[in-house]
Structures are given as C-alpha cells and as structure tokens.
Structure 1
C-alpha cells in the first residue's frame, strides 16, 4: 500500500531543480499544493522542443520521487 499522494507536499528546488519557479498555493494559512512553472522567459509551448524536454524532465523527476498522485488515489 502506498502512502499519501505527493500533491500536498511542499516542493523545493531539490525536488524540481529544472523548474523555472515553484509557487506555493495556500488556502488561508494552510499549504495545499505547489504550482511548478517549467519556463519563465516566454509562454510555454508544447510545440517547442526545449519546453517539452524541460516539462518531461520535471515530471519524470517527480515520478521518481513519488511526488505525483497514483491513479488509485484520484
């Protein structure tokens, strides 16, 4: 049996070093998640190979660290 899904965990630069920014999401005073921004200098485009590479790298690292929800938890 797996633990709590990683969605509510506070992400740090160590979790996603390739991210352009990590923005904590709060509900009143409670942390409820983190927005992971892959690129910050231009709008993200899934047709831009470098943008897709960075996004895939971030997602792969989060999978490896068990920081994405499991299908059974959705």
Structure 2
C-alpha cells in the first residue's frame, strides 16, 4: 500500500525533493515520512496538511475521510 503522502505528492506531479523544498523540511526527513519509517513531527504534519489542503488526521491515518480545509 502506498503512503498517503506519496499519493498526494504524485497528484501534484512533484518529486520528493520539490515537495520537501516547498514545504520547508529536509529531503531525508520527507522520505522517511513518505515511507512511514518515522512518525511525523507535529509542525511538519501541519505544514503538509496546509500544503495538501487536507486534515492532519487524514495524513496521520486517523481517518479515511480526506477533509478539505477551508
């Protein structure tokens, strides 16, 4: 199963390095998040949720519903 981060990133046609640079996190950290090798820091989770316009709960697998933030 692909990670939600990877699916969301691919929807926007971004490479991991482009996304990491845009959001302001290191590439290595982003790659670990995308591969579910490490738990996301709250600040990074927030940045990614804002970028993808979805809830933090969706990115953290706490819900299946992809809620759009308004």
Above 0.5 in TM-score? no
What TM-score does the superposition give when structure 1 sets the normalisation length?
0.33
- Which structure has greater strand proportion? 1
